[in-house]
Amino acid sequence: MIPLQEASARRREIEDKLKQEEETLSFIRDSLEKSDQLTKNMVSILSSFESRLMKLENSIIPVHKQTENLQRLQENVEKTLSCLDHVISYYHVASDTEKIIREGPTGRLEEYLGSMAKIQKAVEYFQDNSPDSPELNKVKLLFERGKESLESEFRSLMTRHSKVVFPVLILDLISGEDDLEVQEEVPLEHLPESVLQDVIRISRWLVEYGRNQDFMNVYYQIRSSQLDRSIKGLKEHFRKSSSSSGVPYSPAVPNKRKDTPTKKPVKRPVCAPGTIRKAQNLLKQYSQHGLDGKKGGSNLIPLEGRDDMLDVETDAYIHCVSAFVKLAQSEYQLLMDVIPEHHQKKTFDSLIQDALDGLMLEGENIVAAARKAIIRHDFSAVLTVFPILRHLKQTKPEFDQVLQGTAASTKNKLPSLITSMETVGAKALEDFADNIKNDPDKEYNMPKDGTVHELTSNAILFLQQLLDFQETAGAMLASQVLGDTYNIPLDPRETSSSATSYSSEFSKRLLSTYICKVLGNLQLNLLSKSKVYEDPALSAIFLHNNYNYILKALEKSELIQLVAVTQKTAERSYREHIEQQIQTYQRSWLKVTDYIAEKNLPVFQPGVKLRDKERQMIKERFKGFNDGLEELCKIQKAWAIPDTEQRDKIRQAQKNIVKETYGAFLHRYGSVPFTKNPEKYIKYRVEQVGDMIDRLFDTSA
């Protein structure tokens, strides 16, 4: 049971809570009543506002529509007036631009092109809207006249401002190839910058609006003439400079040889003279070293007598080839700015034709001259082909790059010239070898003193020139497939995909075999010529001099290394031949020494009086020796051994033999009373005999 007090307290608590809830409910009810009242008031206000807004809208909308219609009408009127003004302006274009067109674009190209743009638009308008209008004919005629003026201006600008490139600038451009690592190449300025920009603008306008390609013909004709004149001017300048102040920079001269002197003046490197002049200098060098003697006879034209004009022509041509490449590259750079891209290759092809044809024609003339020289056996003239051919091959990659995109006939011109030069060069090499072999033995042309024959010196000098052109000469031989001629098998590894391209090692072996062939032919011919001499001793001296000359010439150059590629024992073989000829010569003294040789002397007892027969025999021995010595010394004094070392060696060896034999004879019989007049038979002391032998081979004694 819940206590009574607790129930009473519980009841009071519930009653208090109920009272609070009733008060809250009463507050909420009052608030709802106030909210309803406010809502009614707001609805009343909004209804009133809506009513007023509707009235305003009904008043404004008609006004707005009327205003909009008025604005549209105004815009239409303005557009109509603008169109009328625009159309009317086309009718005034002819009169507004006629004066400008008549006066031409010179000096005001910007304004002129602006007028042409107006005329172009007028033509388009009348063609579309009024094709029968007389105004169309007016603007068409004006447009054509303006286009002709632009074409004329283009021609005038190109003619007046296109100048030939000065030879000095071309030489600097060529010599600049060696300086590319230290400085950038400066392009040539064919046209002033302002003129070039005008030319470019006219060109673009003629292509875009003029629908005209005739200006491209004008362009290539003018630039072609300047290119051709620039190259011809360089050639003429080179000739004058060469004749007056030496040879300018020459690509013909090999720059890889260690012994090639080079020096740089202000801008252009200056190298040694060309091929033929080098042969002359080489001959003088050998003469100073005692390798050459008096000229003998040969049907070969002497190398040392050639005119320096050969060098001038060769170097000038090589300069022109290099100049063409550089100038053509420069012309193409200029052409790319002026001529539309799809016409550039064709225009460039036409532009370079005259200059290229001139170079190719001159090259063919060189080939033709070489063929004639071969017929005359003038092989020194053929040497001009070698530096030219080498330079053409070195320049061919640049040529090919420059001629990219040109016609096949244009691209094939240089390879065709190279082939012609290789063919004539190979022909010259073969004919030279055959000529060495078949050079006739002409008694009246043989050197009387037994010195070096001109055939020998010419052959060696010719071979010397091949040292500077080893790859070129080897390629000449290889191009004619001469491997079969020289019994050299073709190794597939030694040839590339091209039938005419051989490895340098194969070309070197081929050239080595060729040189050995020439030397072999020369040796056979010398043996044949030596038989012309009646005196075997003079024949031996002749062969000795020639063999010695060949050996020393081989040793003083790289020829010996080249020969050794296919003939390892060549040097030893020549030394053996030289020694054999010395021994043959020494046998000529046997007829002198045999008189006093111990085996032919009478035997007698010392202190015993000589019999008449013995005295006569001793007299004959002295007389035979004296006469033989005098005769040989008189004859052999007129002979020549140009090599000082060999001359001294032969003299000394012969002097030792004769002095020893004569000394022993004199010691044995000098004091024997075989005559009442000993001075008649004992004419020479041993030292005098030595002095007489020392004067052998000395024409000045």
Q: How confident is the model at residue 6 (pLDDT cuts 50, 70, 90)?
A: confident
Is the predicted pLDDT of residue 539 greater than 50, yes or no? Answer: yes
Segment of 71-85, 171-185, 188-202 carrying the highest mean pLDDT: 188-202
Is the predicted pLDDT of residue 497 greater than 50, yes or no? Answer: no
Taking only the tens place, the pLDDT of each residue in 547-586 is: 999 999 999 988 999 999 999 999 999 999 999 999 999 9
Strand, helix or coil at 130? coil
Take residue 21 and report the two structure tokens written for it.
């809830």
Is the predicted pLDDT of residue 305 greater than 60, yes or no? Answer: no
Q: How confident is the model at residue 118 (pLDDT cuts 50, 70, 90)?
A: confident
Is the predicted pLDDT of residue 254 greater than 50, yes or no? Answer: no
Q: Who contacts 333 (Cβ-Cβ below 8 Å, separation ≥6)?
A: 187
Taking only the tens place, the pLDDT of each residue in 403-454 is: 998 999 999 999 999 999 999 999 999 999 999 998 887 766 889 999 999 9
Is the predicted pLDDT of residue 344 greater than 50, yes or no? Answer: yes
Specify the residue for token string 């031409």: 104
Lowest mean pLDDT among 296-305, 322-331, 581-590: 296-305
Q: Percent of the chain scored above 90 by pLDDT?
A: 40
Residues 12-21 have a mean pLDDT of: 88
CA angle 556, 303, 423 (to 5 degrees): 95
Taking only the tens place, the pLDDT of each residue in 596-617 is: 887 766 666 666 677 888 888 8
244-253 burial code (b ≥16 CB/10 A, e <16): eeebbbbbbb
Is the predicted pLDDT of residue 181 greater than 50, yes or no? Answer: no
The answer to whether 322 and 392 are in contact (CB under 8 A) is no
Strand, helix or coil at 461? helix
Q: Alpha-carbon distance 86 to 583, whole Å?
A: 116
Q: How confident is the model at residue 459 (pLDDT cuts 50, 70, 90)?
A: very high
Taking only the tens place, the pLDDT of each residue in 509-530 is: 999 999 999 999 999 999 999 9
Residues 247-266 have a mean pLDDT of: 38
Closest CA to 305 of 186, 187, 453, 457: 457
Per-residue model confidence (pLDDT) at position 502: 56
Lowest mean pLDDT among 102-111, 198-207, 253-262, 417-426: 253-262
Residues 630-656 have a mean pLDDT of: 92
- Would you call 661 exposed, middle or buried from its count of C-beta atoms within 10 A (0-12, 13-18, 19+)? buried
Instruction: Measure CA of the first residue to CA of the last residue in the chain; give whole Å.
Output: 180
Q: How confident is the model at residue 292 (pLDDT cuts 50, 70, 90)?
A: very low
Is the predicted pLDDT of residue 274 greater than 50, yes or no? Answer: no
Per-residue model confidence (pLDDT) at position 494: 45
Per-residue model confidence (pLDDT) at position 2: 57
Q: Alpha-carbon distance 689 to 654, whole Å?
A: 11
| Average pLDDT along the chain | 81
Per-residue model confidence (pLDDT) at position 608: 66
Q: Who contacts 529 (Cβ-Cβ below 8 Å, separation ≥6)?
A: 441, 446, 453, 455, 542
Is the predicted pLDDT of residue 331 greater than 70, yes or no? Answer: yes
Closest CA to 579 of 603, 551, 559, 619: 551
The answer to whether 462 and 373 are in contact (CB under 8 A) is no
Q: How confident is the model at residue 238 (pLDDT cuts 50, 70, 90)?
A: confident
Per-residue model confidence (pLDDT) at position 641: 93
Instruction: Give the distance, in angstroms, between the CA of residue 457 and the centroid of all CA atoms in the same chain.
Output: 31
Per-residue model confidence (pLDDT) at position 699: 62
Is the predicted pLDDT of residue 8 greater than 80, yes or no? Answer: yes
Segment of 70-79, 269-278, 331-340 carrying the highest mean pLDDT: 331-340
CA angle 180, 184, 190 (to 5 degrees): 115
Per-residue model confidence (pLDDT) at position 182: 40
Q: Alpha-carbon distance 469 to 508, whole Å?
A: 11
Q: Alpha-carbon distance 138 to 98, whole Å?
A: 10
Q: Who contacts 512 (Cβ-Cβ below 8 Å, separation ≥6)?
A: 562, 563, 564, 565, 566, 567
- What is residue 566's DSSP assignment? T
Residues 473-493 have a mean pLDDT of: 60
Instruction: Please compute, for residue 458, the number of CA atoms within 13 A of its CA located in the half-sphere on the CB side.
Output: 27
Q: How confident is the model at residue 287 (pLDDT cuts 50, 70, 90)?
A: very low
